[in-house]
Amino acid sequence: MNLADQPVAILGTGSYLPAKALSNDELSTIVDTSDEWITSRTGIKNRHIAAEGEHTSHLATHAAKKALEQAGITADQLGLIIVATITPDTLTPATACYVQNNLGAPQAVAFDISAACSGFLYSMKIAENMIQTGAVDYALIIGAEKLSSFINWKDRTTCVLFGDGAGAAVLGASIEGTGRILATDIGTDGKQTHLLNIPGGGSAHPTTEENVNQHLASLSMQGKEVFKHAVTRMKNSANTVIARAGLEPSDIKLVIPHQANLRIIDAIADRLTIDNKKVFVNLDRYGNTSAAAVAIALDEAHRQEKFERGDKIVLVVFGAGMTWASAAIEW
């Protein structure tokens, strides 16, 4: 059988959260904040923080092993590994190279992509296309972040929002017709780079003592502006894939959105006219894990059997860039 003739499907998912949890109450002993403020403004109650010496590639590897196991694929069958991250182990080589070595996947070409919180669905699109063209049979896509290393822990406007974690999926031809990707949408608006960024550590602001002291290597965000863009872009993108898949909002069993803020998620559900009971939320436990967020949520929803064979689900994300993406999947 020619695998390239088959629709592309998600064959397995996995996720990993580091052991240490950090609650809102614990955070309020570090910065001037409160459980009441964080919960009412964001819905976040808790986040996980990687241990010292536990790098993004380690989180990614744990998630990947679970996805491979569920897919029934061994690492040496992989032709492609993409790690979506804004918190790589090193600027170079790519985090995906460490993961390739950790997994023992010598046949896989491995690289990172930087599309912030949208990276996992950008990776899905790239992997889908490479499988469809016959370039690879099996692809591993991972969203993995150790944001705790890029947070200014004295800045209450950002440090309460983010957490560490990883989620993964194995993609291949849909031989049994399950997990099929029906439609995708990806987009970028480079006019908004200033709204959400980590300005330092690159060629614009190299790692000098002065730049580090000014916290330029920490995440910086204009929250209110990002909020507005997030609602509009995610609503439009989700509507686009629903229409491209020939579906109506009422056909969707579950929406799995980027996990940044419960108010954003509720606003999107409202605008999509989808009951918010059909929207998966886990940001209360993990905060915003950027590229990992939708991947972790997909894995949890899958393992909790929130959808079954034949159900249509929509993934929708938004992040720095600005970037956005969606996928409609028939499970």
Determine the 3-state secondary structure of 242 from DSSP. helix
188 belongs to the binding site for ligand UT7 (CB under 6 A) = no
56 belongs to the binding site for ligand UT7 (CB under 6 A) = no
Q: What are the angstrom distances between the C-alpha of 37 and each of 45, 251, 254? A: 10, 36, 29
Closest CA to 307 of 318, 298, 295: 298
199: Cα within 13 Å, side-chain hemisphere = 14
Which of residues 83 and 116 has its CB atom nearest to ligand UT7 in the complex?
Answer: 116
219 belongs to the binding site for ligand UT7 (CB under 6 A) = no
117 belongs to the binding site for ligand UT7 (CB under 6 A) = yes
Q: Residue 325: is it exposed, middle or buried by C-beta count within 10 angstroms (0-12/13-18/19+)?
A: buried
129 belongs to the binding site for ligand UT7 (CB under 6 A) = no
261 belongs to the binding site for ligand UT7 (CB under 6 A) = yes
182 belongs to the binding site for ligand UT7 (CB under 6 A) = no
Q: Using CB under 6 A, pick the residue from 187, 223, 251, 276 that binds ligand UT7.
A: 223
Residue 48 annotated to the active site: no
176-194 CB burial, b ≥16 within 10 A, e <16:
eeebbbbbbbbbeeeebee
85 belongs to the binding site for ligand UT7 (CB under 6 A) = no
- The neighbour count for residue 91, using CB atoms within 10 Å, is 9
260 belongs to the binding site for ligand UT7 (CB under 6 A) = yes
90: Cα within 13 Å, side-chain hemisphere = 7
Catalytic residue among 55, 62, 229, 258: 258
Residue 117 annotated to the active site: yes
Residue 258 annotated to the active site: yes
- Shortest Å, Cβ 248 to ligand UT7: 27
Q: Using CB under 6 A, pick the residue from 42, 61, 148, 282 that binds ligand UT7.
A: 42
Determine the 3-state secondary structure of 5 from DSSP. helix
121 belongs to the binding site for ligand UT7 (CB under 6 A) = no
Residue 273 dihedral angles phi and psi, to the nearest 5°: 55, 45
Residue nearest to ligand UT7 (CB): 223
Residues that bind ligand UT7 (CB under 6 A): 33, 37-38, 41-42, 117, 156-157, 160, 196, 223-224, 226-227, 230, 260-261, 264, 288, 318-319
